[in-house]
Structure formats: C-alpha cells, structure tokens
C-alpha cells in the first residue's frame, strides 16, 4: 500500500464540509504558511521537486520563481481546472469529493506568490463541481480563511470561480487566460510567457488542480520529506485516472515507484483486464500522448520493467516510449480496434481545434477525414503515408502544444500498429463488421504463463 | 545627442545585418532583401498584434545568441520572434523550414476553392505567389472543400468566406482603425468564419481598408467586382484633399476611366507608411471618387517588374538593343544549314500521303537506301557544316 497524501481522507464521510475537513487536520498548512516568509514557501516547493501535474511536468517551484515581481503590479494565481483531456478525470474527483483541499492549496499558493486575487477556471461541463467548490469557498470565507486580512496575518485573499464554456483549448494556459479575460479562447503567441505577462498583462502563474493540492502536504510535511517519496525526479504521489477495459476503473493515488504491470494487474489498483482478456495497448497519459503496444508498455525497449513515473514512461522517446501526461490511463484489450480508436481521438482534436493557426486548423480536419475513409473500408494504401506526412507537418509548427497533441497519437498508432491500418485497407468489407484484434501484440505476461 | 540604440548582429542565410534591439527576425530579413525574407500571409506591420497565425514565415534558428548558442528546438514564427545578438537564422537554406512551409501551403490550399480564373484578387493575391513559390503542383486532398454563401457586408464590401485563409488581418483593421468593431470570428476550428453578427452591415469610414489587407480574394470591393482584371489596369499615384484621411492613393485606370482606388502599397504588399504613419484611406476616397477630375495625378506607380501587373504597364519597357546588326557589320546573315539539304521533306518526289504514319527521319533513310545514298542526315549535316557558301 503506497503512501497517500491527497486522497488519505477521501473515505471519511462528510469530508466535503469545512468542519469535518478541519477536524481531520485541514487548513493546518495555511496556518503554518502564514507564519513563513513567502520566499521560503517557494523554496520549500522547489526542494520538494514537485512537477506540474497538468501534463507537461514542468517543475512547479521553478515556475513560481520565474514569476516577475514588478512593484505596484498585481500578480495572479490561476488554477487550471479545465480538465478536458479525454481519459483524465483526477481533478474532478479531487474537487468533487475533497474541495477544501484545493481551497487550502489555493490560499497557501496565493500567499506564496503574493496574489491577492486568485481564480479557479473550471470547465463548463463540470457545473455541479463548480457549485461544490463555490460552496467550499463560501464556508472558508465564513471561517475567515478567505477575505480581507485572513487569520490576522494582513494578507488579503480572494478566490473566484470562473466557469469556462467547455472548450478543450482553454486548458492551454494562455488560451485559458484569454478566456478568463472574457475573450475568445485563442492561445497567445509566446513569448511573453504568463509569468511575465499573463492575465490582464500582469504576471500570472497557472497551475493544475492537482499541483495546487500537492502544495498542502509539501507545507505540512516539508519539501525534504515530500521529495523522498517517489524515485528520481518523479517525486511525491500522482493521481492516475484509469479507464478502459480494466476491472476497476477509477482514480488511484500512486507513489511513482510501482511498475506499470503492477498497476494494471494488482488488485489494489486496476485489477487486471476486463473479462479475462489480454492487454493489447495502452495510452498512459491522456489521449494526446502516444499509444504503446503491450510489449513496449510493460517493458522498455531495453527490457527493463517500466515504472509509473515521468522518466520511465518517457524512456525511449516517442519511438518506443510515451509520456506521463496528465495521468489519464486508458487501457485497450485485445478486441479493440486501433484505427477506430485513433479515428475517435482524431475526431476529437478536429472538433476542438481553435482555428487560429493554419496547420492545426486544416490538418486535424484532413486527418479525421482520412481516418473516416480507412475505418469505413474506403482507404487506400497511400493514405497511411499521407497521414504520416500530415501529422509530421503539424507537429511543432503550431502556436500552442495542441498541434503536437493532435499529431502524436496518430504518429504512434501508425508507428506501432501499421499492419492494422493495412489490414483495414486490404479487407474493406471485413473491417466494417468486426473489430480487429491483433495477436502480434500479445500480452507478454500471457506468454510467460503458457 | 540622442542615446544610441543598441544594435544586434543577426545572420540570416549567411548574410549579416545589424538591427536595433526589439526587431523581429522577419523585419531583419526584410532589411536584407526579398531573397531571404520569409513569406507572410497574416503579418502586417501596420497592424498591432498581427502575425504568428499562418505559420508560413517559420524559420530555423541555428543559434539563439552569442551568449547562448544553442539552436532552438522548434521552428519559430519569424514575424513574432525578436532577434538576439549573434543569432543565426536559416530561412531558404534550411531544409526543415522549407519542408514545413510546403506543408503549410498545402494546408492553406486544401480548403481554398482555387477559383483564380474568376477571382478579382488574381494577379495580386499572396496565396497565388506563395503557392507558386513553395507549393506543389498537385493536391493530395480528396474530400469536399468547405464552402460558404457569399455575403454582402455593407454596400461596398463583399465577403466570400470560401476563399478566406483566416489570417485575422481584417479583424485587426476593424479593431484598430474603426471605432466600433462590427465583425469577428464565429465558431471555431476549420468551421470558423469571419462574419458580422447576423449579416449586419459594416458601416464605418475606414472599413474599406479590410479589402486592402486581405491577402486573398475573400473581401472584395463591390464597386469593382468583375469589372476588370488587375493586370489590364494601369496604377497611378494620385492625391486629393480629404478631411478624413491622408488622401494619398493609387488609382487604377483603364483609358480615362478609374476602375478602382486603393491605398498605396510598399514592396511587401503592405500599406505604405507616409511620414511614419500607415496611409490608410477612407471610404469616400476609395469608393466614391471614381473620376480622374477628382484627383491630382502624381505619376505612374512603380510596380515590381516581376509582378503580373507590370505586363501592361504603360511605361515604355526598356528593351536591350539587338546586337545582331553590330555583329554582322553589314554582311548578310549566313545560314548554318539549308533545310533542303538536310531533309528531303520538301523534295517533290516524296509523297508523304503514302506513309502509314507520321513521317520520321528513318522513313527518309529507307528511301535514301533505294537511291543508293549511304549518308545519314547526320553525316550530311556534318559535311555541310564545313561548306562555305
């Protein structure tokens, strides 16, 4: 049983309410932090080695220390709760069941960054979640943790909720800031980065919900202690939202030393593949990271067991590895069709492209149409190479990482499952009536057992 | 003495230039010349915040600066990236950048109707130039292109959204030149369209400048639509006293008739800067003063010699003198060969109509053999070469 930091009180009944949360030791970090210097808190977060949990894995302490601090200009902390990555639902879980953890983290982080006004940008589809968080803010305000001069420290802390309108692109930090300012959610051209010029032209830090929640145990237990959990540069615990063909889908808190194999098959976590089938492939970090076939997922290309952490999942680059991403763990069993699956992802990215820069606007739509043809038995052999060409010219040429996110899954699907595409093209009638389970990617565990 | 500006040295395609701090790579390249300047579809120097969207100006940065000579991992949009001292940029010498540009031209064209033969912009269209320079001759796109219904926005401008490449330039004109912004982008992704909300008319004195900034034929002048092709018109600089704008324009004439009035363009296709200010013109000058008598003509506009517009330019073309007479020096021209000696096509005894197919050189060789002439035409040609008449 690995150590739990964020979800340790999740099963206590009534943890949503302020009183129960406070009784279980909540808001201690606020009291502790208000006695510290702001620079020390940033230093503590730096020491903890906490990395952004939103997908890119950028060290949070570093991000905080980049924040420009000109005199007389307001600074903002914005919490990115626009969790729209398909397969990721960890932030919703946190906000829905333990909203005070987020509020506590927000107060500590706001104090550390000197942001008197902070925002939580919640995606539009999470309307009931926004109500829960609003309720938590109201309670905290009543108890004096939010408002003017909190706990007599002289620090004013206001936290507002801003509801998005349900656009995936608004999860990108600069698009989020545009949306927060009331404009179209189009990503800005960087530089300047938000740490210099963010919301309303002021220095801004944008952090994921889980990142901000993780600040609470860092302050409570100290950055040193936090950095001892986990392995290498992957410190602390990470929430993984597991879904797909597994027995126990849900949100799991892991310390980053367990292997992928243990995560999928142990009863403590996913509990194995549904209906006793075999593992075919898995997307380890939300729809935008490359898909991995079972043999590469459980073992790296060097034959070492793959661990659930930033470094190990990225081992081998995008050729034989993937990425931790936002922790949306999607498992596909042997009956799933990779072409159909990638078509679905491609359709999503086409629908969500903001249309600001040309490669992404036109390329995502083009890819979706080619996929539609292949999936429906109208594909041609040259379409595979065309898909490869289209994704190659989107990747890296766009304003924001959305273009990369749209290109990577397609590239990985072709790289690892090209024969499946070819099968679709060669058997146009058969591919309409059945999904194609490919035995080439047999579960290595199965091979050991037989 | 004014404080001297810090100058940064930047090398673009092997050519070093010194530019003040804060200049973008694109402007540094434009300073060197059109050979190394990346193409742009959305950047417009007179419009604040433009650029970065079309991605045609992507360049490779081989070294970030003298202090930090690491190359940048990704291609950068040169229109929005500022130069650093000692930066080394590769534009046309970078395979990666050219390949990316090729891709972007392809993306821009997949939903473009390619109706150049009936498009008013043809001849002065930047997408035409771009695809000529960087595109491929065919398309790999096999699907339906997106289409929209043509829309009149106001009495002067027609919006043909099908041709639009979403460069956002006209939005910035609306934002920065006019008081009330009337139009914007609806929807998102590849379904997004530029429109006024529920077909409202754009009614503003400077709205006509949207036509000038449009790189393609999406926004066209309704008073000029289908009247003429641009290369049949003769551009002339002219001015008049206008209380709304600078009044300095280009008239496009055919004969005495003024077909259209536009603002003056610089070599990059942007509105000329007169006294440091972009010379936007008002709708009165643009749409209502279509009479030569309204204007004081300054003289013909200089048009780039490579532009299709210059093909009918009324300035007399400078034709280099024919050196033949000087070379011959009074002698009559000497033919290298006489066609009748080489070929027998003109000989009366050859009846071409009896040949089963088109006559070839072998046909005559066969006939030559019957006449017992062993020379092939090539041999005969080589003999004739030495003959002096």
- For the whole model, what pTM was predicted? 0.86
CB of B74 within 8 Å of a chain A CB? The answer is yes
User: Regarding beta strands A230-231 and B15-20, do their DSSP bridges make them parallel or antiparallel, or are they unpaired?
Assistant: unpaired
- Select the CATH number that applies to the domain covering A18-228 from these four: 1.20.1050.40, 1.10.3720.10, 3.40.50.11540, 3.40.50.720: 3.40.50.11540
Residues of each domain in chain A carrying CATH 3.10.20.600: 231-333
Q: Which of A164, A190, A361, A368 would best serve as a mutation to test chain B binding (most B beta carbons within 10 A)?
A: A361
Q: Which residues contact B208 (CB under 8 A, 6 or more apart)?
A: B156, B157, B221, B281, B282, B283, B286, B287
> Min CA distance, A346 vs chain B (Å)?
13
**Cross-chain residue pair B189–A358, CB shorter than 8 Å:** no
pLDDT in tens, chain A (450 residues): 567 888 888 888 999 999 999 999 889 999 999 999 999 999 999 999 999 998 888 999 999 999 988 888 999 999 999 999 999 999 999 999 999 999 999 999 999 999 999 999 999 999 999 999 999 999 999 999 999 999 888 999 999 999 999 899 999 999 999 999 999 899 999 888 999 999 999 999 999 999 999 999 999 999 999 999 888 888 999 999 999 999 999 999 998 889 999 999 999 999 999 888 888 899 999 999 999 988 888 888 888 899 998 999 988 888 888 999 899 999 998 888 899 999 999 999 999 999 899 999 999 999 999 999 999 989 999 999 999 999 999 999 999 999 999 999 999 999 988 888 988 898 888 888 766 655 555 444 444 443
CATH architecture of A231-333: Roll (3.10)
**Cross-chain residue pair A167–B188, CB shorter than 8 Å:** yes
> Min CA distance, B326 vs chain A (Å)?
56
Q: Which residues contact A97 (CB under 8 A, 6 or more apart)?
A: A10, A15, A16
Residue A298's CB is within 10 A of a number of other CB atoms, namely 20
Question: Strand, coil or helix: what is B286?
Answer: helix
Q: Which of A294, A389, A273 is nearest to A338 (CA)?
A: A294
Domain A338-434 has CATH 1.20.1440.230: yes
Which residues in A have their CB inside 8 Å of a CB on B?
167, 169, 184, 189, 350-359, 361-366, 369, 386, 389-390, 392-394, 396-399
**A189 to chain B: which residues are within 8 Å by CB?**
51-52, 77, 80
**A184 to chain B: which residues are within 8 Å by CB?**
184-185
Distance of alpha carbon A207 from alpha carbon A203, whole angstroms: 13
Q: Which of A187, A317, A358 would best serve as a mutation to test chain B binding (most B beta carbons within 10 A)?
A: A358
**Cross-chain residue pair B75–A350, CB shorter than 8 Å:** no
- Search chain B and give the residue with CA nearest A382: B140
A205-to-A63, A197, A419 alpha-carbon distances in Å:
7, 10, 45
Domains of chain B: 7-105 (3.10.20.740), 111-139+146-221 (3.30.70.20), 233-312 (no CATH), 336-386 (no CATH)
Residues of each domain in chain A carrying CATH 1.20.1440.230: 338-434
**A393 to chain B: which residues are within 8 Å by CB?**
99-100, 102-104, 106-107
CB of B106 within 8 Å of a chain A CB? The answer is yes
Which DSSP string corresponds to B317-331? P-PPPP-HHHHHTTP
Q: Exposure string (b/e) for B349-376, b if CB count within 10 Å is 16 or more?
A: eeeeeeeeeeeeeebbeeebeeeeeeee
């Amino acid at each position: 049983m690995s150590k739990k930091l964020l979800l340790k009180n999740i099963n206590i009944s009534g943890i949503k309410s302020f009183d129960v949360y406070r009784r279980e030791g909540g808001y201690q970090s606020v009291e502790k932090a208000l006695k510290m210097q702001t620079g020390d808190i940033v230093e503590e977060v730096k020491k903890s080695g906490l990395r952004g949990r939103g997908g890119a894995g950028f060290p949070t302490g570093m991000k905080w220390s980049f924040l420009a601090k000109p005199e007389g200009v307001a600074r903002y902390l914005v919490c990115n709760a626009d969790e729209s990555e398909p397969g990721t639902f960890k932030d919703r879980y946190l906000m829905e069941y333990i909203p005070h953890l987020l509020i506590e983290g927000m107060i500590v982080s706001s104090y550390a960054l000197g942001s008197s006004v902070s925002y939580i940008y919640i995606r539009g589809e999470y309307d009931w979640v926004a109500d829960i968080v609003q309720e938590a803010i109201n309670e905290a305000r009543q108890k004096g943790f939010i408002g003017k001069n909190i706990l007599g420290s002289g620090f004013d802390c206001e936290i507002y909720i801003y509801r998005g309108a349900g656009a995936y692109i608004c999860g990108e930090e600069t698009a989020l800031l545009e949306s927060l300012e009331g404009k179209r959610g189009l990503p800005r051209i960087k530089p300047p980065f938000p740490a210099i010029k963010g919301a309303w032209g002021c220095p801004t830090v944008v952090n994921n919900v889980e990142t901000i929640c993780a600040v609470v145990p860092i302050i409570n237990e100290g950055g040193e202690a936090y950095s001892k959990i986990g392995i290498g540069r992957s410190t602390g615990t990470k929430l993984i939202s597991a879904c797909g063909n597994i027995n126990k889908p849900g949100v799991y808190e892991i310390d980053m030393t367990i292997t992928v194999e243990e995560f999928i098959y142990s009863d403590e976590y996913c509990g194995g593949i549904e209906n006793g089938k075999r593992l075919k492939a898995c997307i380890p970090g939300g729809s935008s990271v490359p898909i991995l076939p079972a043999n590469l997922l459980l073992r790296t290309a060097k034959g070492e067991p793959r661990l659930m952490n930033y470094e190990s999942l990225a081992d081998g680059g995008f050729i034989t590895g993937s990425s931790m991403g936002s922790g949306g763990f999607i498992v596909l069993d042997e009956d799933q069709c990779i072409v159909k699956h990638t078509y679905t992802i491609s359709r999503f990215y086409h629908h969500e492209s903001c249309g600001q820069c040309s490669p992404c606007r036109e390329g995502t739509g083009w890819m979706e149409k080619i996929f539609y043809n292949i999936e429906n038995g109208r594909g041609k052999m040259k379409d595979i190479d065309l898909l490869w060409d289209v994704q190659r010219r989107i990747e890296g040429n766009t304003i924001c990482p959305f273009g990369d996110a749209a290109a990577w899954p397609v590239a990985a699907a072709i790289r690892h499952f090209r024969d499946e595409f070819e099968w679709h093209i060669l058997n146009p009638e058969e591919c309409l009536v059945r999904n194609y389970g490919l035995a080439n990617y047999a579960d290595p565990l199965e091979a050991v057992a037989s | 003495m004014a404080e001297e500006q810090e100058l940064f040295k930047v090398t673009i395609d092997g050519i070093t230039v010194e530019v003040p701090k804060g200049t973008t790579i694109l402007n540094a390249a434009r300073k060197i010349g059109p050979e190394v300047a990346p193409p742009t579809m959305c950047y417009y120097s007179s419009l604040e915040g433009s650029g970065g969207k079309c991605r045609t100006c992507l360049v490779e940065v081989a070294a970030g600066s003298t202090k930090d000579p690491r190359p940048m991992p990704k291609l950068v949009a040169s229109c929005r990236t500022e130069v650093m001292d000692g930066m080394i940029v590769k534009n046309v010498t970078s395979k990666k950048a050219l390949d990316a540009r090729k891709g972007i031209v392809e993306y821009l064209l997949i939903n473009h109707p390619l109706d150049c033969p009936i498009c008013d912009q043809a001849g002065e269209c930047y997408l035409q130039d771009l695809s000529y320079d960087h595109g491929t001759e065919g398309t790999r796109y096999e699907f339906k292109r997106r289409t929209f219904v043509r829309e009149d926005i106001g009495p002067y401008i027609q919006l043909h959204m099908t041709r639009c490449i979403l460069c956002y330039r006209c939005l910035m004109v609306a934002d920065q030149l006019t008081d009330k912004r009337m139009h914007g982008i609806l929807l998102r992704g590849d379904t997004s369209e530029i429109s006024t909300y529920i077909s409202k008319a754009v009614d503003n004195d400077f709205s006509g400048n949207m036509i000038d900034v449009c790189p393609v034929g999406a926004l066209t002048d309704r008073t000029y639509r289908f009247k003429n092709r641009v290369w049949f018109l003769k551009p002339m600089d002219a001015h008049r006293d206008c209380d709304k704008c600078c009044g300095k324009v280009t008239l496009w004439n055919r004969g005495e008739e003024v077909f259209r009035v536009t603002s003056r363009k610089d070599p990059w296709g942007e509105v000329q800067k007169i006294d440091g200010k972009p010379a936007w013109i008002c709708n009165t000058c643009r749409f209502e003063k279509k009479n030569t008598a309204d204007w004081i003509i300054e003289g013909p506009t200089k048009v780039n010699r490579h532009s299709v517009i210059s093909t009918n330019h009324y300035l007399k073309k400078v034709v280099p003198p024919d050196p033949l007479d000087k070379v011959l020096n009074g002698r009559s021209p000497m033919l290298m060969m006489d066609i009748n000696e080489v070929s027998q096509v003109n000989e009366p005894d050859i009846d071409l109509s009896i040949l089963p197919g088109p006559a070839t050189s072998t046909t005559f060789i066969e006939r030559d053999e019957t006449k017992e002439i062993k020379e092939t035409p090539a041999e005969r040609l080589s003999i004739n070469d030495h003959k002096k008449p």
